[in-house]
Structure 1
Amino acid sequence: MSGPAIERDTRLPEQGRLPERGLGLALEILEQVARHDHGTTAADIARAVGAPRATVYRVVNSLVRDEYLVRRADFSGFMLGARVLDLAAVVGAHARPDYAPIVDKLRAETGEAVHLFGFHRTGLTILDEDPAQPLADRDLLLADPARSASGHLWLLAHPERDLPGAPHWRVHPSADELQGIEDAFAVRGYTEQVATLAPDRGCLAVPIRDERSRPLGAVTLSIALVRLSVAARHIGALREAAAALAQSAPLSRW
């Protein structure tokens, strides 16, 4: 004999949303932030996803703590963080991006290792690593901006780097290091590192800027230390590539 039927409560909370739904809400929040290039506020996010503001604040704070979101420098809202941008670069690597022919051409012309980096508020993202001549030390490059030519350009492009919650570099350069980087760039118009990532290699980096001269990233040329003295002959090619890369998608929207 069957027992009484169990009546399921099919009623949904207000607006059909469960505050405890966790991952789904976090993904919706990330999607809303991604729709706003210059960031958006937690209040606007809450209105867009239709969830209680207190719940959205809790999820947003968790995403900031885990570096999926970052606070704007003026604390007026939130932007995508390093972990989302890195993930986007990994996903994009499976497709042939618009900038790939430019980077391939530069590698063929120079015969050297060429790498492409994107800049975001908390650091660097490796967009295109030379498959034939990989980076010497990825972890160190992404931890200490003073160790790489691309990191030098990032430092020059981000005077707000000392604001609370800005970069997440594990190593911070000294005032003397920063001054040396600025002085060298003022003379050369590009940055250079010598044997700071690998004892037998050096690197040159040229900035990639949009039409308003805002930094988008860097294109770099890594070369054996014994040939570093002649590496400057490739600067013209690097600058031409940087100008073309500034117009390419998705770099132009980075």
Structure 2
Amino acid sequence: MSGVDAASRARLPEKGLGLALEILEQVARHDEGSTAADIARAVGAPRATVYRVVNSLVRDEYLVRRADFSGFLLGARVLELAAVVDAHRRPAYAPVVERLRAETGEAVHLFGFHSAGLTILDEDAKHPLSDPATLLGDPTRSAIGHLWLIAHPDREAPRAPRWTARPSAEELQAIADAYTVRGYTEQVAMLSPDRGCLAVPVRNHRAETVGAVTLSTSISRLSVAARHVHALRGAAEALAGVEPLSGW
């Protein structure tokens, strides 16, 4: 036995978990699939050994043969494991926002507040923001921006560098007065001619507004959608101690 063969066998035992994992890694690196010969060359193991391990992985559904039998792809069990890992990596706020979307059937977005303006934390993929550039640049044109202005009464708004528009004192007073009456902010046709939005503040343990959860819908449904304010407030309470909102 040559020195190279001995090293390969020591590093990659013909039977065992080590070789199986390295085979899976090699297949994962190639979206189009890998042949057993390619895998054998990559891992430095005898082709007969690789065939044996690959067949075992196919039998246990960790690998699957391509339809044209030209190679192997990752199987259902590996994909299921990847989904579990991905679920654990999801932001802590994701389940709250997803439940709210399912409950209301409307577009729901989550924003974070900071001294520079707004950050989009979770945009509804099925109902994207109609004009994110304006929303992030002019606090007077969105319900979320109105909440930011209310949350920063001691600032000469908008001193935040992301804001491109400066609200007048009259606008600020009208926004504050409406919020006092409703307990949430609202905009109608300011970003899109046929859409409106409601925004409820998310507060941290010091009662500081650190973000907002919003519901957007067609103008014709906006008054009906107001019935979801209770659900929005419940979600906002659930989000109060959730990262990254709790640290903003």
TM-score range, shorter chain: 0.5 to 0.7
Q: Which amino acid aligns with 2:152?
A: H
Alignment match, 2:155 = 161
Cα distance in structure 1, aligned partners of 2:96 and 2:182: 23
Q: Does residue 1:175 correspond to 2:160, yes or no?
A: no
Kindly name which structure, 1 or 2, has the bigger radius of gyration based on alpha carbons. 2
Say whether the 8 Å CA contact 2:158–2:165 is kept in structure 1: no
Letter in 2 for 1:138: P
Cα separation, 2, equivalents of 1:136 and 1:143: 14
Q: Could you tell me how far apart the structure 1 residues matched to 2:209 and 2:195 are?
A: 26
In 1: Cα distance, 2:160 partner to 2:124 partner: 29
Matches within 5 A, 1:102-121: 102-121=96-115
1:20-169 matched pairs, under 5 angstroms: 95-162=89-156, 166-169=160-163
Q: Secondary structure of 1:168's partner?
A: coil
Q: Aligned pair 1:222/2:216, yes or no?
A: yes
- Which 5+ residue runs of structure 2 have no aligned equivalent? 1-88
- Aligned-partner SS, 1:213: coil
1:195 aligns with 2:195: no
Distance between the aligned counterparts of 2:198 and 2:210, measured in 1? 17
How many residues were matched structurally?
A: 160
Amino acid at match of 1:230: V
| Contact preservation (8 Å) 2:108, 2:215 | yes
- Separation in 1, partners of 2:152, 2:107: 26
Question: 1:210-249 alignment to 2 at 5 Å?
Answer: 210-249=204-243
- Percent identity between matched residues is 68
Larger deviation, residues 103-112 vs 174-183 = 174-183
Gaps of 5+ in 1: 1-94
SS at match of 2:207: coil
Cα deviation, residue 174, structure 1:
1.1
Q: 1:215 to 1:164 in 2, by over 3 A?
A: closer
- Structure 1 segments (4+ residues) deviating >4 Å: 163-167
**TM-aligned CA deviation for residue 160 of structure 1:** 2.9
CA distance in structure 1 between the aligned counterparts of 2:168 and 2:215, rounded to whole angstroms: 25
Post-superposition offset of 1:251: 1.7
- Following superposition, the deviation at residue 161 of structure 1 comes to 2.5
Per-residue CA deviations over 1:150-191 (Å, capped at 9, x if unaligned) read: 100000001232189544310111111111100100000000
Question: 2:158 touches 2:167 (CA, 8 Å); kept in 1?
Answer: no
Looking at structure 1, the residues matched to 158 and 126 of structure 2 have their Cα atoms a distance apart, in angstroms, of: 39
The answer to whether the 8 Å contact 1:161/1:167 transfers is no
TM-score by length of 1: 0.61
Match of 1:185 in 2: 179
Kept in 2, the 8 Å contact 1:144–1:170? The answer is: yes
Give distance in 1, aligned partners of 2:166 and 2:184.
Answer: 21
- Could you tell me how far apart the structure 1 residues matched to 2:92 and 2:214 are? 18
Summarize the Cα distance change of 1:164–1:234 in structure 2 as closer, same or farther, 3 Å threshold.
closer
| Residues 186-211 of structure 1: CA deviation (Å, up to 9, x unaligned) | 00000000000000000000000012
